[in-house]
Homo-oligomer: A and B are copies of this chain.
Amino acid sequence: MKKNPAKKTRARAVKPLIGKLVVFGVGLIGGSFALALKKRRAVAHVVGVGRSRANLLAARRLGIIDEIASDAASAVKDADLVLLAVPLGQTRAVLAQIAPHLAPHTVVSDAGSTKRDVIDSARRQLGAAFPRFVPAHPIAGTEKSGATAAFPELFTERNLILTPVAETSPGALKLVAAAWKLAGARVVTMDAAAHDRMFALVSHLPHLLSFTAVSNIAGYPDAKNLFQHTGGGFRDWTRIAGSSPEMWRDICVANRDALLNALDSYLSDLEEVRGMLEASDAAALEAKFATARAARAKWLTPK
């Protein structure tokens, strides 16, 4: 792979990293990946596959994809890279559809928020092609979804986590890492189980708690009035509850065990805090709050 963005005539002549990219699920993640690679001239042709015709038409109109595939088999023919950017619940079905049609050089990757279950599915569905499956998870996103939400800078300086297994082909891994680096991401490699535990704590649990908090308020008879008295803090605190219910349903079920562990640890802390409150233990409450504020100041302050 050569990079020479300064000289346009030569850049055009250089063979792009990926000749044909197929994106299953041209939403925020899949669409932004295609746009980022196009911007870097790292892909020659992008084919989109998806459930919503309207979304695919929008993606083509916006220049995210060049072609709408009529079916999975024709879509993946001669593909260099196939990216699955579908809700986790569809991963197994898409893998089963494409498995018989993959060329010997085609690399398959995903963008799923959990990794152990995706690896299990890929191992079962892809058979001999499994070494060319590269499990990946870009740590980026907003609460918006669909092709119209996509933009090429989504992954700039964000982490892209690879969780390869023993069978994963070094060449396939190299291609996927190179593509994400071109898309602007920092590539990090870790074990799939470590990934799933980590994101249960810092992403899946927060979403579960935020959805539950908003639906709790919505359940009060005077919910409308309550929401009208919220401020900017509440709005930020509940932003993630605007995320896709389907996507998060799938993530929760796929990462159930790690998420239950994370939830039980939180519930245990919350019961402890409830005890402090019931006892009007001001000092204990203040110490708990100060721990949180200090941790946030130390680790979460934007650089």
Contact = CB atoms under 8 A, between A and B. Distances in A.
Interface of A: 89, 139-143, 158-159, 198-199, 201-203, 205-220, 223-246, 248-250, 252-253, 256, 259-260, 263-267, 269-271, 273-274, 277-278, 280, 282, 285-297, 299-300, 302
A206 B201 contact: no
A238 B300 contact: yes
A260 B277 contact: yes
A282 B218 contact: no
A237 B249 CA distance: 19
Contacts of A245: 286-287, 289-290, 292-293
A282 B249 contact: yes
Nearest to A207: B233
B289 A249 contact: yes
Contacts of A252: 277, 285
A285 B249 contact: yes
A93 to B, nearest CB: 15
B293 A243 contact: yes
A256 to B, nearest CB: 6
Contact of A220 (B201, B253, B296): B201
Contact of A211 (B212, B214, B220, B292): B292
Nearest to A266: B216
A218 B212 CA distance: 22
B233 A206 contact: yes
Contacts of A223: 295, 299
13 contacts: A201-B220, A202-B217, A202-B230, A202-B231, A203-B231, A203-B233, A211-B288, A235-B302, A242-B296, A242-B297, A245-B289, A249-B285, A260-B274
A140 to B, nearest CB: 7
